Structure formats: structure tokens, C-alpha cells
Amino acid sequence: MSNFCPYCGSALANPNQVICLKCGCAVAPTNRARPINYADLQEPWNGGTFVLFIVLTLFVPLVGIILGAINLSSAKNSEKRRTQALTLLIIGGVAVFINTFFLFVFFLILSQMA
Ligand SMILES: [Zn+2]
């Protein structure tokens, strides 16, 4: 699919170009960043999914940290989903410390038993 300059009618090589190379007129790029279509926004996770992610994050903090970081930075996500993502990120961060602590206690007990 090629685009044409609305002023001189010559074909535009690149859909992102802002100036017609033949006549020099400014042409609007056809696929410039569109305003956010709110129908496209990612819905927040439903309660069950969110709880599942939290539980998963408690056992494998990296899951929550990655999931949280990806969803927090995505502009396509609704405000609520980004809040959920931030929550996962925080839980993931806290879980890293908790898991490290339990691992420490586990090895301490293990060393006492030896
Ligand atoms: Zn032109």
C-alpha cells in the first residue's frame, strides 16, 4: 500500500515521511501515533487472575517483577491494570527479601542438624 502526496500526487516512498520529496509540501504521516483508543485499553486482571499472580509472585518473585514491569510500562493498559502491575512489582520486591530470609533460616536449620 503506497501513499500519495495530496499536493502533487507523487508517491511517498515512506509512510512515515513528513515532507513530500518532490514538491516539498508537508504531508501528514498516515500512521503517526494515534490517540489512545480507549476501547483498546487492556482491562484490569479479574480478581482470580490477580490473586493467582500474587500467589505466583510470592513463590517466584521474578514472575511478579517481570509481569509488573511489563504491564506498568505498557501505555495500552488501563489505569487499574497499571495499579495492579505496580502492586505485583512491590509484592515481588518484598517477596525477594522474604524468600531470602526463609532460605537463610532453612540453611541455618540445616546446618544445626548436621
Ligand atoms: Zn508533493
- Measured in Å, residue 10 CA sits from the centre of ligand 1 at 6
CA angle 52, 58, 60 (to 5 degrees): 95
- Degrees, nearest 5: CA angle 42-43-46: 140
Could you read off the pLDDT of 65-111 as tens digits, one per residue? 999 999 999 878 888 999 999 999 999 999 999 999 999 999 999 99
Helix (H) or strand (E) holding 90, with range, is helix 79-113
CA of 13 to the centre of ligand 1 (A): 12
What pTM was computed for the model? 0.58
Domain boundaries, the chain: 1-32, 38-113
Distance (Å, whole) CA 90 – CA 8:
56
Give residue 22 CA to ligand 1 midpoint distance, Å. 5
Under the banding of pLDDT at 50, 70 and 90, the label for residue 39 is low
Q: Does the structure show a pLDDT above 90 at 33?
A: no
Q: Is the pLDDT of residue 32 over 60?
A: no
Strands 11-12 and 3-4, how do they pair? antiparallel
Confidence of residue 1 (pLDDT cuts 50, 70, 90): very low
Q: How many residues does the chain have?
A: 114
Q: How many angstroms separate the alpha carbon of residue 4 from the centre of ligand 1?
A: 8
Q: How far is the CA of 36 from the centre of ligand 1 (A)?
A: 29
